[in-house]
Structures are given as structure tokens and as C-alpha cells.
Amino acid sequence: MEEHKKRILLVEDDPNFGTVLKDYLMMNDYEVTHAKNGMEGFEKFKKDDFDLCILDVMMPYKDGFTLAKEIREKNTDVPIIFLTAKTMKEDVLKGYKVGADDYLNKPFDSEVLLMKIKAIIQRKATETISDSKQFEFKIGGFDLNSKLRFLKYNGENPVKLSPKENELLRLLALHENDLMPRELALTKIWRDDNYFTSRSMDVYIAKLRKYLKLDSKVEILNIHGEGFRLVVNT
Amino acid sequence: MEEHKKRILLVEDDPNFGTVLKDYLMMNDYEVTHAKNGMEGFEKFKKDDFDLCILDVMMPYKDGFTLAKEIREKNTDVPIIFLTAKTMKEDVLKGYKVGADDYLNKPFDSEVLLMKIKAIIQRKATETISDSKQFEFKIGGFDLNSKLRFLKYNGENPVKLSPKENELLRLLALHENDLMPRELALTKIWRDDNYFTSRSMDVYIAKLRKYLKLDSKVEILNIHGEGFRLVVNT
DNA sequence: TTACCTTTTAACCTTACATTAACAAAATTG
DNA sequence: CAATTTTGTTAATGTAAGGTTAAAAGGTAA
């Protein structure tokens, strides 16, 4: 039923607590990336798309607030939950100022955390995503609408695309005429880079080529060992 | 943009605490209606439009949860904050199930409450711009009046819609020609996203399709794994 | 209570998707 | 060149999601 598991970035320096929490969240059907400090947290944040960030406030090198500010600069929407020490009122207030969605005092009840996560993620889902522009691409004679997942040729023939077909074509379009590295598609779409996912991707490339045959000016070229290139000949 | 003070419905049976809290909120520029029990709370809720409800959980006659349910039947959007006794974990969980936006353990810090209020009201303000009061829709040859819950085709044949049919069609109409995510309908209408609510929704989609068959230009398309799309072909 | 309306659950069937296997064809390497 | 790796392509398979109808369960008012 789920299109994809919701992804959580957990930044927590205490290795024991962090691992336990990660496992608990994973048991509850979330995909969790665990970073052990603020630096690492920001690196991982940049590399991936998350549905929620859970940040410990007290961390060496870079505290949760600083990290939150950096995250907010990149992304104004992703929900943030802070884990603060008990009774640190100032932390709570500071957190809200930085744009937190919620906070939890340690030690906290895990079920309550789960409910908060659910509530926050659902809340975000409710907010209408109306920035349609980034979902529409023109590829030669084709129009790709990657939100509604269809591909039209010359205004007619709307072909439905499967989620993977759609994502892959969208990635190619984002790199039009340029190299779209294999690895990029595998990590972004398949979230795993191994022999099988790689073969699976090749199957999808074949499918896309079939769709794109309608316009002889459009083709997907392979760059051996590197990736693919969506070219539009003029 | 907003010209009126934000209105808060405060339902709290302890007269001392209630009065103090009311005064504090008023000092901070909110317009506060104080009800001393659940009955009175519901009466006042019906008489006015509030931007936020703050409900004590423990109250004689009618507790906060029961009141919240009644409020939710009237209004699926208004934010609700519960005041619960410290350490009553079950209360917190129950609150979220009823559709609470947040909760506070008594005794709580008043500044924290203020921050929460601000955060929640602001959140709703950004959300509610587009889908504000809109109850009448033209869908191809149909007229939907979702306040009176009927659907007319060509001015004739007024079909009565059940509450769920109505809400679902309204959501679809709000997103006409665009994706109406499954998740959105489930969280907004069913308030829960699981296998059964999802199947229930599919049943309603089938019912709506039956009604809409009268106009061959109107159809509900599925986007596998994402949601539905109400399209009007021209 | 019956009667009626609404919603959920169940059942059964169809369609959509992603993965894997299998084999062919290029490209690369030494 | 032969050997190896990478890519191209089609088909088969298993699973999940959606379509539809009917029966069960819940609710409400006469």
C-alpha cells in the first residue's frame, strides 16, 4: 500500500541510545539513517531526501540547533523534532524559533514519539504541493508530467508511466544531453546499488526507449560503465 | 493580512487555573472564550469560529476527548491542544487518535504554551489559504453542493450524497485534473491510514464513479500507488 | 422493536509493477 | 584476437494495489 517507507534522519551522538532508537523506528516501518554528530548529519541530509529529522540538541562539534539552521537553509519544509534534556525550557523555546515542529524531553516515551512522528508526517502530507513546475518536462516532442506520471507525444497518446519508469525518465530529463550516472539513479531511485538493481535499471531503460521511439530525435545513449545520456537531436 | 485577533476556545473546569490562563492568553493578544465544562465548551464552539481549541482532558460531565470528537464532527480542521495530567501517557496517545495537534502536561510552562500556539496557528494559516470555504463545484455537467450534500446533473436528478461520498467528491473536486493523494483523503476524511480505511475509500470511489457515469466526459482515474484524479475531458 | 441509511469488511477478480532469469550483443581489456 | 564485463531485450513470475459487488455491522429515528 505504501509507495515508499517514510525516511527519517536521526542525529544522535550517544551510540547506545541512538542504535536503540533507530531499531525501534525501523521496527515500526520507517527507513532510518543514523548520523552520530552534527557534521555527519548534515552530510547525510544533503545526500538524500528525508520526510523527517530527529535531532538531539546536545552534541559535540555541532549542536542540534546549528544543524537545524543549516537544514532549514537547504529545505524550509522538512519537519524537525528536537530531543532536549529534561526541563531545559530555553532549549524548547530556542527550538521553536529555529523552526522546529515539535520537541521531546529525554527520557521520553517511545510510543509518544511514534504518535508525534505520525501526526507530523501526516500533517505535511496534507499540505498541498502546488509547485507544479518542477514536475513538467519537455523532451523533444514529448511532454512528461512526472507528478501525474504520464508521457504525451504531440499532445495526444498519453502513456501512463509506472513509478520507476517515471522517476528514471525524470532523472534523465533533469540531466538532458548530459550524463546521468548509473550510480545516481540506483541510489536515488532503487536506494541500493548492486548487480540486481543495476539489471533492473537496464530493463527500465529498455522500456523507456520503447516509449521514446515515437520521436526519432530523442534517444537514450549508454556511456559504457558510466551511465546514460538522454539526447534530443535538433 | 489577518486583521482579527486569533480566537481561542479554552475549556477548563478549574476556575482559578482557567481564569489565570485566560488572562495570560489575553495579555498576549488572543481573544479567549472560557468554558467551564465540556457541555458549555461545545455550545460555545458551535456559536463561533475559533482558530484554536485548548481542552482540559479531565473534566466532569464531558471529558476533553468526547468534546474533541464532537468538535471534529463539526470541523475537521480546527487545531486542538489537550492539557493532560503529567505522566498520563494513555491520555496523550488517545488525544492523537482523536486528531489532536499537540498536548501539554500539567503543570506546564506558559511560554512553551505560547510557542506552541503560535506554531500551530501559523501552520494552519499557511495550510488553509487554498481550501478555505468552498462548497460549490461545477464538475462537467454536474453541480456539487457539498454543504447540502447533493449532486445534480443538468439541473435535474438531484442525488443525495452520504457524508463520506460528499467529502471524498469534494476533495477530488478541489484537486480537479490534479492528483488527489490517497493519503490526503485518508488522513482528512478517515483520520487514519491503514488497510481497511484504504479499502473503504476504494468502495467509495466505486460509488462516485457510478454517480458520475451520467456524464461521459467526467471520470475518476487512478494513479497506481499515489491516489486519484478527477478529470473533465473537453 | 423495525426500518432505513451509512460505513466497514469480506470475497473474488483484474490490472499494474518490479524483479529475476535467460540469452544476445556490444564494449573493453589484456 | 579471445576472454570478460557491461548492456540490450524479452519473457516469466510473484506480489501488491485497485475494481466491484455483496453481506455484515453500526447508527438513528419512527
Strand D contacted by B54 CB (< 7 A)? no
Residue pLDDT, tens place only, B58-112: 887 778 888 888 887 777 778 899 998 766 677 777 777 777 888 888 777 888 8
Chain A CA closest to residue B91:
A112
CB contact under 8 A, A89 and B102: no
Q: Which residues of A touch B109 (CB under 8 A)?
A: 89, 92
In a domain, B2, yes or no: no
Residue B199 falls within a domain, yes or no? yes
CA B186, C1' D25: Å apart? 21
- State the CB neighbour count (10 A cutoff) for residue B145: 16
Is residue A171 a part of any domain in this protein? yes
Regarding whether B24 and B120 lie in a shared domain, the answer is: yes
- Angle at which helix B64-74 crosses helix B38-47, to 10 degrees, equals 20
- Residue B15 is predicted with a pLDDT of 92
> Domain end: B101, B128, B155, which one?
B128
Residue B86's pLDDT is 61
Q: Are residues A195 and A179 in the same domain?
A: yes
- Shortest alpha-carbon distance between residue B211 and chain A (Å): 24
For residues A53 and A94, state if they share a domain.
Answer: yes
Residue A158 domain boundaries:
132-232
**Widest Cα–Cα separation across chain B:** 63
Which residues, 6 or more positions from A128, have their beta carbon under 8 angstroms from its beta carbon? B130, B131, B175
From chain B, which residues contact A within 8 Å (Cβ)? 89, 92-93, 96, 100-102, 109, 111-112, 115-116, 118-119, 123, 126-127, 130-131, 175, 178-179, 181, 183-184, 187-188, 193, 195, 198, 223-226, 229
For residue B103, the number of C-alpha atoms closer than 13 Å in the C-beta half-sphere is 32
Q: Which residues contact A89 (CB under 8 A, 6 or more apart)?
A: B109, B111, B112
Residues A120 and A209 in one domain: no
Query: Do B15 and B121 have their domain in common?
Result: yes
CB contact under 8 A, A147 and B179: yes
Whether residue A112 sits in one domain with residue A77: yes
Looking at the DSSP bridge assignments, the partners of residue B139 are B142
Domain count, chain B: 2
Nucleotide minimizing C1' to CA distance for residue A204: C18
Dihedral sign computed on CA atoms, order B36, B39, B40, B41: positive
Strand D proximal to B209 Cβ, under 7 A: yes
The answer on A20 and A118 residing in a single domain is: yes
Is A208 within the bounds of a domain? yes
The pLDDT profile of chain A, 234 residues, written as one tens digit per residue, is 345 788 999 999 999 999 999 999 998 889 999 999 999 999 999 988 899 999 999 898 899 999 999 999 998 789 999 998 766 677 778 888 887 888 888 778 888 898 888 888 877 766 655 555 578 999 999 999 999 999 999 988 899 999 999 999 999 999 999 999 999 999 999 999 999 999 999 999 999 999 999 999 999 999 999 999 999 998
Q: Which chain A residues are Cβ-neighbours of B116 within 8 angstroms?
A: 96
Specify burial of residue A84 (Cβ count, 10 A radius: 0-12, 13-18, 19+).
buried
Model confidence pLDDT, tens digit, residues A127-137? 655 555 578 99
Distance to chain B for A27, nearest Cα, Å: 17
Q: List Cβ neighbours of A83 (8 Å cut-off, separation of 6 or more).
A: A12, A54, A55, A56, A57, A64, A103, A104, A106, A108
Angle, alpha carbons A196-A202-A204 (nearest 5°) = 110
Question: Same structural domain for residues A116 and A136?
Answer: no
> What CATH number does the domain containing A222 carry?
1.10.10.10
Q: How many helices (H) and strands (E) does chain A have?
A: 8, 12
A205 with A121, same domain: the answer is no
**Rounded CA gap, A47 and A49, in Å?**
7
- The reply to whether A15 and A110 lie within a common domain is yes
Which positions 144-203 on chain B have a beta carbon less than 7 angstroms from any atom of strand C? 160, 162-165, 190, 196-197, 199-200, 203
pLDDT of amino acid A79: 92
A33, A10 in Cβ contact below 8 A?
yes
First to last CA, chain A: 42
Quick one: B43 and B121 in the same domain?
A: yes
Q: Which of B96, B128, B160 is the last residue of a domain?
A: B128
| Cα gap B12→B37, rounded to integer Å | 6
For residue A1, being part of any structural domain is answered with: no
Kindly report the CATH number assigned to the domain that includes residue A45: 3.40.50.2300
- At which of A126, A153, A183 does a domain end? A126
**Residue B132, all three cell numbers:** 478555505
pLDDT value, residue A2: 42
Helix count and strand count (H, E) for chain B: 8, 12
pLDDT at B1: 47
Per-residue pLDDT of chain B (234 residues; tens, 9 = 90+): 445 789 999 999 999 999 999 999 999 999 999 999 888 888 898 888 899 999 998 887 778 888 888 887 777 778 899 998 766 677 777 777 777 888 888 777 888 899 889 888 877 766 654 445 678 999 999 999 998 999 999 988 799 999 999 999 999 999 999 999 999 999 989 988 999 999 999 999 999 999 999 999 999 999 999 999 999 998
> What is the pLDDT at residue A130?
52
Residues of A in Cβ contact (< 8 Å) with B93 = 111-112, 115
Statement to judge: residues B120 and B183 lie in one domain: no
Please, is B82 exposed, middle or buried when counting C-beta atoms within 10 Å of its C-beta (0-12, 13-18, 19+)? buried
pLDDT in the model for residue A126: 65
* A224 is a domain residue: yes
Please tell me the predicted confidence (pLDDT) of residue A86: 62
| B61 inside domain | yes
Q: Do A126 and B127 touch (CB under 8 A)?
A: yes
